Amino acid sequence: MASSSKTLTELIKPAKRLKSLPSPKTLISKPSISCKSSTINKTSDPDHNLSSYQKSMIEINKYTAVSKRNLRICNEKVSKAKAEGMDYVKLEELLVEDTWLEVLPGELQKPYAKILCQFVEREARGSAPIYPPPFFVFNALNSTPFERLKVVILGQDPYHGPGQAMGLAFSVPEGIKVPSSLVNIFKELQQDLGCSIPSHGNLLRWAVQGVLLLNTVLTVRSPQANSHAKKGWELFTDAVIRTISQKKSGVVFLLWGNSAQEKSRLIDEVKHHILKAAHPSGLSAHRGFFGCRHFSQTNQILEGIGISPIDWQL
């Protein structure tokens, strides 16, 4: 996995040179609110000098900085390990967001996780690259602090092509062709909320607002989909889902497709809200994903319980 050995200085060179390893800078979407039906308005809050729109932008910028900091920490750990001649950073060292470490104490030290770590290390030493690069493996958790979590979107395993996977379900870095499933997600957003179709597929802006973009398997061998399934990742991500169910309330779970819907067994439906639809892939989007209106429903649910909605416009 040669791409993970690059230094942070090399990472911030112009994007044209980064097909296999996107720059942390490219992970940040430009702030924009243009959904016709956006529930975030720009009217002044009578109790404060800042408008609700300004406050939402401050929050997005604040947690974007948190995500960038966590990404930088992970990248520095990878670079240090390579400089010391180590093949791979242990998985437990790449989950750096304190709020998740607090609610998942010792999870990555459990016997299954040790076996998983050994498997991923062996794969990293193999002839085929694995995705995403190691500093992106826990990007979903490192970008969405536990206390900020409002919505969960479940995916399966990472994209298995060069430069695609960035540790956020359905998301790809800017400059990478938008996959068909994400194209269909954007189409539904346009129909549902009037959002304009973005020119990129980077969903970090959702993540920093509290949308956990969690794949149930967090690594994959190129170019084989599901090649790291049933190696232990499902036990870890099940623990994440179960922890959310137990320790939070009012979270909206968007379960698209049969694989995601199987995880409903881990969720307390009395405390949380589950919205189900077909998977947005080209094969199934017309069987119930299009027209599901999950994005407007999510915001209606959040506002109904006194939680600020998501600005879905990228």
By annotation, the residues acting in catalysis are 157
Inter-CA distances, 160 with 8, 34, 58, 174, Å: 23, 32, 35, 17
Q: With contact defined as beta carbons under 8 Å apart, do 185 and 170 qualify?
A: yes
Q: What whole-number distance in Å separates Cα of residue 92 and Cα of residue 273? A: 31
Please say whether the beta carbons of 223 and 66 come within 8 A: no
Contact 114, 230 (CB under 8 A): no
Dihedral angle sign, alpha carbons of residues 237, 241, 242, 243: positive
Burial track 266-301 (b if 16+ CB lie within 10 A, e otherwise): bbeeeebbbbbbbbbeeebbeeebbebbbbbebbeb
Closest to 6 measured CA to CA, from 68, 73, 67, 78: 78
Q: Can you tell me whether residue 91 is helix, strand or coil?
A: helix
Owner of token pair 């940040």? 28
Q: Are 232 and 172 in contact (CB under 8 A)?
A: no
CA dihedral sign of residues 277, 31, 177, 155: negative
Number of alpha carbons in the 13 Å side-chain half-sphere of residue 2:
4
Question: In this structure, are residues 57 and 31 in contact, taking their beta carbons and an 8 Å threshold?
Answer: yes
Q: Are the C-beta atoms of residues 271 and 245 closer than 8 Å to each other?
A: yes
